[in-house]
Structure 1
Amino acid sequence: MLKQTKRLTLVEQVAEQIEDLITSGIWAVGSRVPPEPELMEQLQVSRNTLREAIRALTHAGLLKTRQGDGTYVCSSSALGPVLKKRIMRSKMLETLEVRQALEQEAVKLAALRRDEEDLVKITHCLEQCKLAINTQDPQTYAQWDIEFHQAVVSASHNDLLIELYDYISESLQHIVVELFEKADFKKYYFTHEQLLKAITERDSDKAVEIAHLFIQESQQHLTSDNTTGTGGQLHESIKQPDQTRG
């Protein structure tokens, strides 16, 4: 049996309006929320009502209050904080599997939808990965490897997929560093290079095949207790990227 719908309280209405400003991007992540008097005037509500709405959004993880400094936007949607908390309770391999499941669909869409701007971003990230391998810098490699995959997912032009992937990827930098210490990342680089080639050529089947390959490689290194690898030490460096490219 259907139940009678409940009318939103004034606090809930104010919180909903503020959340709309955040999710629409009008209030960007990192930006400072307007002062209380300004918001009270715009919303035509009391200080207590406004503070209750701000408190609710702070609890949801969208806002953060800094003592003596004001209130700031810290997430673009309530989904982000919830996912982050859940990821913290997940095993490393589980998180990686979810990320990679999203990625397989993303590379297929990227091959079909990418534009020239997308290719420039992906190529730049891959070149930075190459430099990090040659200088044996796992932290920098982790940063650019994640940005490479985010650029690929962005090329899917599916906003929900991009948002989900970004939230999960934020928690994975330490995993990439751990993989760097176990594996020969020269091999990973060439797999990523093949993925870029498939996306450039709009070969979605090939892109999915390659994504599945580096997913298997990552899982093998995480689940194997006997991985000898090279400890991140490459016996030869990769050819430096052409500095004239963007």
Structure 2
Amino acid sequence: MKTQRLFWNIVNNVEALIDSGVYSAGSRLPPERELAEMYDVSRPTIREAIIALEVRERVEVKTGSGVYVTAQHTSALAEKIISAFELTQARALVEGEAAALAAHSITDAELLAIQQTLSDMKTADNADQADQRFHAIIAEATRNTAVVNCVENLWHIRRTSPRIIDAYSDVCSQSCEQRLQEHTKIYNAISNRDACAARRAMHDHFNRLINALFDASEAKALEEIKRKTDKTRDLYSLSHLRQ
């Protein structure tokens, strides 16, 4: 009974890691030995968990190669309706900690690469790509593959969800100078090796973005209310009865 509980705990844990994007589509799970050490269980227990994951079509076992995450299930998170507000809050939480970690481990070469993205952000045509690269470099500087995968998956949702693309488009285009200033502040904190300041600067950046999204959402809601009111006014107006 104890072995069965351990076995299902591992299945549930690995599935959660797949759904969160830590183990992305096509990626290979750690070797059996490493998984056994990671979960502090026997290798036979790991084998049973892998069999269950394969039956659920979460992974594919390739003899002589390893265990790979199947593509059809890795989009489970993206298939759910995620609002721009939820995505931005998640990015703030993940990337705030990434900035704090990076402040301790970033290299001089990576700092120079970030400086280049700040320069590129000054040009409208390059701003969005430079923005993404800025955050990617910080994630890479954490030396934590799980953090890198999380940031990449959040950016994937940002780039592929029509609803979020629409919500971000007006907000980002209207605040290019402010975006550059916020990113510069994040860079300065990381460059100074100040983890607390880096986390705070990243949170400030996303907090401003969340407020801007709310402002844009309220403006659209008011515009829709006005449109419906005008339509109703025209419907009941007596103007068309005048001779």
Q: Do these two structures clear the TM 0.5 threshold for a shared fold by scoring above it?
A: yes
**Aligned twin of 2:117:** 125
Mark the runs of 5 or more structure 2 residues left unpaired by the alignment. 8-23, 31-53, 61-66, 221-243
**Aligned twin of 1:198:** 189
Does 2:98 match 1:112? no
Does 2:9 match 1:23? no
Cα distance in 2 between the residues matched to 1:223 and 1:81: 34
- What does 1:70-109 align with in structure 2 at a 5 Å threshold? 78=69, 82=73, 84-89=75-80, 90-109=82-101
Does 2:216 match 1:211? no
Q: 1:170 to 1:79 in 2, by over 3 A?
A: farther
Q: 1:181 aligns with which of 163, 167, 170?
A: 170
Letter in 1 for 2:138: V
User: 8 Å contact 1:113–1:156 — kept in the other structure?
Assistant: yes
Does 2:129 match 1:143? yes
Cα distance in 1 between the residues matched to 2:70 and 2:98: 20
Note the C-alpha offset of 1:176. 6.3
User: 8 Å contact 1:84–1:171 — kept in the other structure?
Assistant: no
**Aligned twin of 1:156:** 142
Note the C-alpha offset of 1:179. 3.0
Cα distance in 2 between the residues matched to 1:154 and 1:179: 24
Mark the runs of 5 or more structure 1 residues left unpaired by the alignment. 7-18, 26-55, 63-75, 229-246
User: 8 Å contact 2:103–2:198 — kept in the other structure?
Assistant: yes
Cα distance in 1 between the residues matched to 2:71 and 2:121: 27
Q: Determine helix, strand or coil for the equivalent of 2:193.
A: coil
Scaled by the length of structure 1, what TM-score is found? 0.56
Aligned-residue CA RMSD (Å): 3.6
Cα distance in 1 between the residues matched to 2:27 and 2:132: 25
Letter in 2 for 1:23: R
Q: Deviations over 1:103-157 (max 9, x none)?
A: 01000011111111211222222222221x3xxx4xx432221121111111111
**Aligned twin of 1:168:** 154
Cα distance in 2 between the residues matched to 1:79 and 1:203: 40
Cα distance in 1 between the residues matched to 2:166 and 2:121: 12
Cα distance in 1 between the residues matched to 2:168 and 2:209: 7
Report how many aligned residue pairs link the two structures.
167
User: 8 Å contact 1:100–1:215 — kept in the other structure?
Assistant: yes
Letter in 2 for 1:2: K
